[in-house]
Amino acid sequence: MAARPPTTAALPLAYTAALEDFLEALRVEAGLARNTLVAYRRDLVDFIAWADAAGADAPARVQPEHVVDWLADLRDRGLAEASVARHLAALRMLLRHLVAEGRLKRDPAALISAPVLRRSLPKTLSVDDVARLLDAPLRDGAAGEGGEPGWRGQRDHALLSVLYASGARVSESISLRTDGLEPSLRILRLFGKGKKERLVPIGEPARRSLTRWLENGRARLPDARRRPEVFLTKTGRPLDRQNAWRRVKAAALSAGLSPAISPHTLRHSFASHLLEGGADLRSVQEMLGHASIRTTEIYTHLDADHVRSLHRLYHPRG
């Protein structure tokens, strides 16, 4: 079920006009998805309702103390620091927008520090575990003609190969279309958050797997010629996000790996293995489609852990 925007009917008019203008600017200029805009609206409506009750019934009346007290109230309500940080980030964006538009003379949140968050390192697989995971669909899929894996094995192997070879998000992989594929299948055109397009190369193993699925397994499914999506179900319908997650988890179970493995685990492994192999951070950022290099920097911690492990293993005094 799609998220419903929280109501602004009971809020002061000075706030609702500013809020709607801000959200429209995000939609038009930043191209943010609807669910992201709904999340921004919800966090900001929370602040506006709180500020109004505290006597700040217009943006110009908001003081730094209001922001500090609101953040304290969020913590009192049991919100995690990550949620508190998200609320503050949304408010800062709104206030900066109002300053830029000349509706506010100063930003009352400018000097308020964001909560310090502990960044948890993403779970990744070793190269050997990735190989086991990718091999599982071919081993388990019902054999087709000439001893080839059946359609399901071919599809799941191609899906997992694409996820690992390109670092694609699961939503990006299931959105791949046959009419948007580069003829040699050496580069994938992915559409990330905000419909931003990026081109990511894939290696020969993934190219072979994707070619086999397109020319063999997929071609045998009903309505395959009329469907533009690359990954289809048995009935010829597009593979959805939940099905893709289930196929990854089924392969993990078959390979004897952790059931916590998800499509995002392959994305994390893609980035980690590139850095371990010597890729520069900016290139990895481009391939992952991260808007900020800071998001990609978390993988440098993984790379440092890898280097330390090698030092302990091979150095005489490691």
Instruction: For residue 267, indicate whether it is catalytic.
Output: yes
123 labelled catalytic: no
At position 145, the amino acid (one-letter code) is E
234 is a catalytic site residue: no
> Which pTM was predicted?
0.61
Report the residue count for the chain. 318
Q: Using the structure block, give the residue that is written with the tokens 């894939």.
A: 202
Buried b (16+ CB within 10 A) or exposed e, 73-85: ebeeeebeeeebb
**With respect to CATH, is domain 13-100 assigned 3.30.300?**
no
Active site residue 193: yes
Q: Which of 244, 248, 220, 222 is nearest to 149 (CA)?
A: 220
- Of 263, 38, 297, which is closest to residue 171 (Cα–Cα)? 263
| Per annotation, catalytic residue among 169, 207, 218, 247 | 169
137, 156 Cβ separation under 8 angstroms: yes
Q: Which of 193, 208, 237, 241 is catalytic?
A: 193
Q: Which amino acid is at 82?
A: A
pLDDT of residue 278: 83
287 burial via Cβ count (<10 Å: 0-12, 13-18, 19+) = buried
> Quick check: helix, strand or coil at residue 143?
strand
Q: What is the largest CA-CA distance in the chain?
A: 76
- Tell me if residue 201 falls in helix, strand or coil: strand
Q: For residues 210 and 201, what is the distance between their CA atoms, to the nearest angstrom?
A: 13
Distance CA 25, CA 38 (A): 14
Question: 127-261 falls under which CATH superfamily?
Answer: Intergrase catalytic core (1.10.443.10)
> Do the two domains 13-100 and 127-261 of this chain adopt the same fold?
no
Write down the pLDDT at residue 301. 64
Would you give per-residue pLDDT tens digits along the chain (318 residues)?
Answer: 333 444 555 778 889 888 999 999 888 877 777 888 898 999 999 999 999 999 999 999 999 999 999 999 998 898 888 888 889 999 999 999 999 999 899 999 988 877 765 556 678 899 999 999 999 998 865 555 455 688 999 999 999 999 999 999 999 999 999 988 988 899 999 998 778 899 999 999 999 999 999 999 999 898 888 999 999 999 999 999 999 999 999 999 999 999 889 999 999 999 999 988 888 888 999 999 988 877 787 777 655 555 555 556 665 665
Domain residue limits, the chain: 13-100, 127-261
The answer to whether 299 is a known catalytic residue is: yes
Catalytic, 169? Answer yes
If one counts every other C-beta atom within 10 angstroms of the C-beta of residue 53, the result is 9
The residue to which tokens 């010629």 are assigned:
225
The per-residue pLDDT for 153 is 94
Catalytic residue (one of 152, 157, 267, 268): 267
